[in-house]
Structure 1
Amino acid sequence: MRFTSLVALAATAFAAEQGFNYGATFSDGTIKKQADFEREFNSAKNMAGHSFTSARLYTMIQGDTGGVIEAIPAAISTNTSLLLGLWASAGQQTFNNEVTQLGQAVAQYGSAFTDLVVGISVGSEDVYRTTDIGIASNAGTGASPDALIEYVAQVRLAVHDNSLFGKPIGHVDTYNVWTNTSYTQGLIYAVDFLGVDAYPYYENTKSNSIDNAQSIFFADLDAVTAVAAGKPVWITETGWPISGPTENQAVASVQNAETYYKDVACSLFSENVNTWWFTLQDQQPVAPAVIFGLAGAGTPPPTTPLYDVSC
């Protein structure tokens, strides 16, 4: 099946990235080290049915040292491409260190690092966390569009004289934040790409059964593409949980997660759309209330997924 948004997205893609989102800690808060990232990246690359060779990060800072996140040398050693992330909801002082470690990564690893970078995301769902929905869901501290515009400008200045110059700089937020153009139009014009997080499972004011999930996702994507001012729209988070509470008509199960993957991921892959799925593993070592990880538990993450990921 071909979708309007996919036609527009594919036209902007040079070589599609296919990967997962990777947090800086395990589910119990333990900080990941280089060897941990290497195990994850290798498991994703060697996944039975489909090879995932890209990683989306949320921060440039290694939590136990304050230096460069150890996902960077892990990506170099495994030849994993990177959508970098700079955390933008902790204020200017923390963001200063994000920018510092971005520059330090260039100085420390050079082209071995920068050749892997496909983009730089300034923030992740920061605006969502300032909205009524984000506040009601206790999503945490966010940042305004004006603050993010300023952060984007700071990153542009920081990379102007190094080998990251020319890499696209964007922002990641929920589909309904992007479509609220009275609030986000300035941010749309400030970035080079729009990263979209969309989860029909959580859209519980809609008829969000698995039978409708594909159409909901692509309607969300079409809506963002319509306001993107011709800029690339990348899929930075989506997925369906294998376990968790029922959200209106959305039932979490392995079978439904596979259906969603086949309907959404395979469509995106076939149209050459940059996609970072949520997620490889989120239940190691502690299982969260809602589990999206397709690899199951274990160290290293199993390379035999819980459902078929071939397309």
Structure 2
Amino acid sequence: MLRPLLFACVVARAVGLTGICYDSYLATSQVASDFRVIRTKFDAVRTYQTNVGGLNLIAEAAAANLKVAAGVWIRDPSIYVDDVAALVAGIKAHPDTVLAVYVGNEELMHGWSASQVIAEVQAVRGALVANGITSVPVGSVQTDGDFLNNPELAAVCDVVGVNIYPFFGSSPLAVLFPIQDLSTRYNAVVAAYGKNRVKLTETGWPTSGVSYGTPVISFATAQNYYNSYMSWTATSGADCPFYFQFQDVTAKQGFEAHFGLSVDGVSWKFTPPTPAPTPAPTPAPTPAPTSAPTPAPTPAPTTKTPAPTTVAPTTTTTKPALSTSNDTFVPEKGHFVSDDGNNTDSNATVVVTPAPTPAPTPVAIDKREDDATSGTHVAETASGSASSPTTSITVSVLSVVAVLALVAAVYHHYRKSDAIKPNTLLPGRRSTLTITHDAIAIL
């Protein structure tokens, strides 16, 4: 019953947090300022000891508003005793600051057996329980391979802390695709021991130093790995993973001295992402004030206009009714033609009453058209009405006279010629006379 409760505590405390490792090699005079710098970019620190030169790192983290994964160093008996005492005091004073307690760090790589580490984990848990501390999960930190090869150690841990470094990988793929290597190895431990228990406690890439095997050591390579790591943790990584480490430690040798994200503890080598701020709650919208009704304006008095002397008559026109289908109105036919070719003859009578204005006097405008044969001019009025009946009769009479004159001329011509008969005009074809209202055409 206790372990499921501890799992719930771990998840609740670590969701959405980002962390960085803090090396105990650093001078104690720097701890307070270092933690303030760390807090500008990260939410938590992982320590390898809890007591450093008389300073309780749990209390220091709480003062900087940081969470802490507190470490117990088990390779030195004197350090171990001081760490356990600081652990008990720090958790009692700041119960909400500690995410987890990690007993040891990679001892299986340094000749320890799984049973030795198990004994230390159980001893630290016993000391906490003896002091009434039961809500903080206790575990150990080893490499992913060592945890997979020693499931009995994982069985006694509330949290399984794994250190995974593609930089140290022997496979060329680990170097070419480091984040894929990190993800694959992390997921293998998760598959073995469960997502809620497994935590990424270290990963990193040095910015300088002599290359270890095939990996490339450069500032750009380290920056690319870090950026890819941050993207991975945002979508696939464990709750509150820890990157190694805050600052370069020049006391170490070779590339081991250059894993830090900062050279001097003041400025960053490359800018870690800033934690996203918590959005402010959206205030309820304030209703707009109701405007007072505007009184209707009083119309100004107007002078009565005398009635026109001539009132335009009310005209009644007939126009086609609007069609609700895709019909086409053909002006020449005066009706709609449907898409299927049928006529839509529904007409609507519209009464148009013009405003009472003096009726304009029609003005005759001559629109002259050259008559190709008779030279007749057709007069049209400005209203666009058709030619008068007198003009039509005149055109018809002239057309008939012209036809008779032409027939007489042709007949007289062919009577004088014995070689051509009148009925052989255009042999093989029939002559057709087409008479129009303004000309005669031989087709």
So what's the TM-score if we normalise by structure 1?
0.76
Q: How far, CA to CA, are the matches of 1:200 and 1:59 in structure 2?
A: 26
> What amino acid sits opposite 1:309 in the alignment?
P
2:107 match: secondary structure = coil
Equivalent residue for 1:127, pick from 100, 105, 108: 108
Identify the residue that residue 207 of structure 1 maps to in structure 2: 172
1:84-107 deviation line (CA, Å, top 9, x unaligned): 10012235x65344323322434x
* CA distance 1:42–1:288, shift in 2 (3 Å): farther
Asked if 1:252 is matched to 2:217, the reply is yes
Equivalent residue for 1:99, pick from 71, 76, 84: 84
Q: How far, CA to CA, are the matches of 1:94 and 1:306 in structure 2?
A: 32
Structure 1 unaligned regions, length at least 5: 1-8, 27-31, 131-142
Q: CA deviation at 1:16?
A: 3.5
Equivalent residue for 1:45, pick from 39, 48, 61: 39
Equivalent residue for 2:137, pick from 168, 173, 191: 168
Q: CA deviation at 1:262?
A: 1.9
> What amino acid sits opposite 2:160 in the alignment?
L
Asked if 1:55 is matched to 2:36, the reply is no
Instruction: Tell whether the 8 Å contact from 2:179 to 2:232 is kept in structure 1 after alignment.
Output: no
Equivalent residue for 1:225, pick from 190, 197, 206: 190
After TM superposition, list the pairs within 5 Å mapping 1:235-250 onto structure 2. Answer: 235-250=200-215
Identify the residue that residue 306 of structure 1 maps to in structure 2: 269
Instruction: Tell whether the 8 Å contact from 1:282 to 1:292 is kept in structure 2 after alignment.
Output: yes
Identify the residue that residue 383 of structure 2 maps to in structure 1: none
Q: CA deviation at 1:265?
A: 2.5
Q: How far, CA to CA, are the matches of 2:173 and 2:214 in structure 1?
A: 5
> What amino acid sits opposite 1:277 in the alignment?
Y
Structure 2 unaligned regions, length at least 5: 1-6, 275-443
Equivalent residue for 2:95, pick from 114, 121, 124: 114
Q: CA deviation at 1:45?
A: 1.7
Q: How far, CA to CA, are the matches of 1:251 and 1:186 in structure 2?
A: 36
Instruction: Tell whether the 8 Å contact from 1:210 to 1:256 is kept in structure 2 after alignment.
Output: no
1:57-97 deviation line (CA, Å, top 9, x unaligned): 111232x4xx4x44233212111111010012235x65344
1:250 match: secondary structure = coil
Asked if 1:76 is matched to 2:62, the reply is yes
1:29-69 deviation line (CA, Å, top 9, x unaligned): xxx32x411111111222xxxx202110111232x4xx4x4
* CA distance 1:249–1:42, shift in 2 (3 Å): same
Equivalent residue for 1:13, pick from 11, 14, 17: 11
Q: CA deviation at 1:231?
A: 5.0
Instruction: Tell whether the 8 Å contact from 1:254 to 1:307 is kept in structure 2 after alignment.
Output: no
Q: CA deviation at 1:157?
A: 1.5
Instruction: Tell whether the 8 Å contact from 1:196 to 1:237 is kept in structure 2 after alignment.
Output: yes
Instruction: Tell whether the 8 Å contact from 2:23 to 2:245 is kept in structure 1 after alignment.
Output: no
1:200-226 deviation line (CA, Å, top 9, x unaligned): 1111x2105653111111121122122
Identify the residue that residue 277 of structure 1 maps to in structure 2: 243
> What amino acid sits opposite 2:244 in the alignment?
F
> What amino acid sits opposite 2:35 in the alignment?
F
* CA distance 1:169–1:114, shift in 2 (3 Å): same
1:130-151 deviation line (CA, Å, top 9, x unaligned): 2xxxxxxxxxxxx321112111
Q: How far, CA to CA, are the matches of 2:269 and 2:195 in structure 1?
A: 37
1:269 match: secondary structure = helix
Identify the residue that residue 178 of structure 1 maps to in structure 2: 147
2:254 match: secondary structure = coil
Comparing both chains, which one has the higher relative contact order based on Cα–Cα distances under 8 Å and sequence gaps of 6 or more? 1
Equivalent residue for 1:293, pick from 260, 272, 275: 260
1:226-277 deviation line (CA, Å, top 9, x unaligned): 2225652111110111112223331111211121112223211344622111
* CA distance 1:117–1:240, shift in 2 (3 Å): same
Q: How far, CA to CA, are the matches of 1:89 and 1:124 in structure 2?
A: 9
Larger Rg: 2
Instruction: Tell whether the 8 Å contact from 1:208 to 1:250 is kept in structure 2 after alignment.
Output: no
Q: CA deviation at 1:129?
A: 1.4
How many residue pairs match? The answer is: 261
Instruction: Tell whether the 8 Å contact from 1:20 to 1:278 is kept in structure 2 after alignment.
Output: yes
> What amino acid sits opposite 2:121 in the alignment?
V
1:179 match: secondary structure = helix
Instruction: Tell whether the 8 Å contact from 2:51 to 2:57 is kept in structure 1 after alignment.
Output: no
Identify the residue that residue 159 of structure 2 maps to in structure 1: 193
Identify the residue that residue 5 of structure 1 maps to in structure 2: none
So what's the TM-score if we normalise by structure 2?
0.54
> What amino acid sits opposite 1:105 in the alignment?
G
Q: How far, CA to CA, are the matches of 1:201 and 1:55 in structure 2?
A: 22
Instruction: Tell whether the 8 Å contact from 2:58 to 2:97 is kept in structure 1 after alignment.
Output: no
Q: How far, CA to CA, are the matches of 2:96 and 2:148 in structure 1?
A: 32
- Relative to its length, the structure with more helix (as a share) is 1
1:160 match: secondary structure = helix
* CA distance 1:230–1:24, shift in 2 (3 Å): closer
